[in-house]
A and B are shown apart, each in its own frame.
Chain A
């Protein structure tokens, strides 16, 4: 095999349902990768799983697969997705059920587990693993009794193993996004786990397409006006060679564009120290990457360098952290801003009178300065209209509900209360907060099982 073509069809849960279908039907690909898990998604899935032991995974993925499974098997397009959530086995079963009900033969589902370390937390603590917050250094004791999920980021290795065992669909739980791409490359090219530069190249390839159309014209600050047909934006494909060189492209006839500028924006996206891009199998260095156009919508990336990884795995935990609510009211000319400011002042005085225990309160004038603040000052203050947005954060839902009851009475404040922009009285929304930490690699043991359909 000269090159392997790997397509991304989903950058996050809620991304375009049409994108993965277009990636399968728009031309030749060898692999379709799909990312469903944001940082706190696992806690939501764990709640679903506790209510229903058959749930707890990305149901959208099963719906998608029921549409494309037959075609993928016939054309030997392998699918790698972190759709398993907290129940990869349940997700696999759902796929097997789809295959059975549709009479599709040849499905072989590889299931990767071992990322869920929720049951190990007590043992880890007693063994002296600190589990402190990686970003803030805060002690784990602060949140221990509120933890709702805890998952280590697995990498490419168990995915490559599942493919070597014959899987044509691989489902993981928590897994690094680039691992979804590196796993297939290791499997296809027989790269070794100490081929540092190659592992780095595969990681960079994965990083390039993990955010979907952000590599191919979506969210493109450098030239969004010039992107054709964003309604049908082509999601990115990497054509990777055995030497780690890869070309970023997209299917013909799709919207957007793949240029050095779109690819460079994505290479820098969510990047920390560019010489030290951490992942379970390799630490990648972006500082010698070269990006050049080699044809229309074809950009070649070379020069990835790698070195051995650290001894730790990153862990993503989620914990319950109070409740929030936001009220939004539109005021209009004349004196839109002055009226919004008076309403805010009336509201805050009443909240103070009530003595509500707020953890935080924030006022924004949406349409005036709510995004850039003083960094990009508003041109003037004689707005035709402005949205007053007041948001709060509290420990308990009752506080948010009491705050909500103070919004409608503002109709008796400054004139021109046009109604609540977000509809009826707000309901408190539970906040699930993110707790990143590290654990020694030795405490995580990724397992792979391949389950055959008919």
Chain B
């Protein structure tokens, strides 16, 4: 046996095994370090701060939990959200994340380590990313071997698709959910492989943790049954499958029902019915196979087959009837919109309005996964080659997750683990093949036929006859015989094992250098994407000065702290729902709507107030006791995520509830353009949102041209006037503008008239005072 490069011969197998395991541990430590470190860009570039929107609520809830204890948190009714309705927080939240931080907090304090709860929240996601890397390692090791596992762990540690939701400060449910997802899957595979009720139960326990942590648990609820079903259809029913599935399903479902927010959904909604159906099916199949093993009569076996089919049909029929009768709730809108992609836009504009619910264009895939995205199909093919039970799981996961990730940007997160696993399998197989030192023997008869292509062509014709590749006889041997080789390789997997190996050191070197080069490029890519795209807290913005130094734009916090310091504790602040959690978290004031978009009508009310003229909006504001209105305006700085750009969604959502009063086309010019300059439509110009955004904007430019730098349009010199609101505060860069709602005039006049009077204008007799109409 020849080798491509010299191998040391005097090492005992135990030394090799020990060194390998030591190297694995070291590698894994380095991977964890890299995973955590690459998520700290945000802390280094900015500061230890909670990011974005939802994390602010989680942070606020965690503070309550840490300060008052779990039971107080469980019963927490928050009167300051969704004013005047309030929100039962304990029953409308997935408490897993807060409970995790609370446990860590109490643990550290028990050992007299006075760590601030904020720092725990900020660093929770990076910490859990190391655990995710470990879970992915375990999962991939089940698929192939530990070396593939290490590659997968390294991939998931630094891949931007996962970093995007787990940088330091991104204190959201996904931070721990991906670890739980991968670990539950690992335990399921383990349970299935061993037929172990212990691992099935462990899978159920982590499934319960997942249910308590993230609404995406429905993905597990459906993935595992689909896997079981496909195995059944492939004729791979076994006692192992039965034990694993039943222990997971029974314990997992019962425990998931303990989460108040989930309650009886696992037995009443369509999302969970698949799992129940497969559970029933498994019982029938297990019963049938048990009976079949005990009886021999042909008639009885026929009877058995018929009765099994009847039972299945009856069960499916009962399911349909129960859905029809309303005992089982149909698909929820959020879930349904994954299948019928036009559904959300038509019926639930709130879901469609969220930017992370938009479909994914291909550059996002490449940005988030880079080289993994094309190693992924190769890995799936390798799964098909072996096709053990656990490979079937990866294949189903790959198809389902790539569809979901295409429909919604945020579901890229569920695709990322399977891409890492599958790409690791592909790359590790490649490296295994080309690192292997052994060279195959050169067969005798091939030696002499080496130079001429005639025998090759004959062989090609014989093997490739199945696919009819006639042309291959004349084509270049290397390229064309590849197809026939492919066919024969796939054919011969069952027959006699063919000799396999690589000759020469140069070929090995080419492949290895190529692979290392691609991996280095991947690391550079990930670092660049993470530092540039995914590490912005979005509460604090950054721009670059002409000299290259960083300029921090801190308007949000400026505004929220202004609110906190200058307004009464019980002041009600109205804003679009995006900013509800931040106002509650940072300004500690009462909000009308927030990111927990449970009440469409309430949000539509705010949308209506924003998109109506002042006279119409004022009664709405007064009826909701609104003291301050907050808008985000990016026109001065060119900050494109502002309220004018979100304005159409406000209009659409309001239109959904008041189709007669608010109509989207009215906010476009007759040519169908969305404009804010002097050609803007009348409805646009008189809307409260427009007025609040551009109030006194042109004054800023003296006599010059006031240009909105987001929309690149010139704002009219004579800006809008406000009668029912007055400007209270505008931040340094005008990103946040706060208006105070005026109280009714003390003399009982209309505020418009009172204003005109105060400005010394003559009261116009001709126009009757507009009556305030009650809103419905």
Our verdict on whether A and B bind, yes or no, reads no
What is the interface of chain A, defined by CB distance below 8 A to chain B?
none
What is the interface of chain B, defined by CB distance below 8 A to chain A?
none
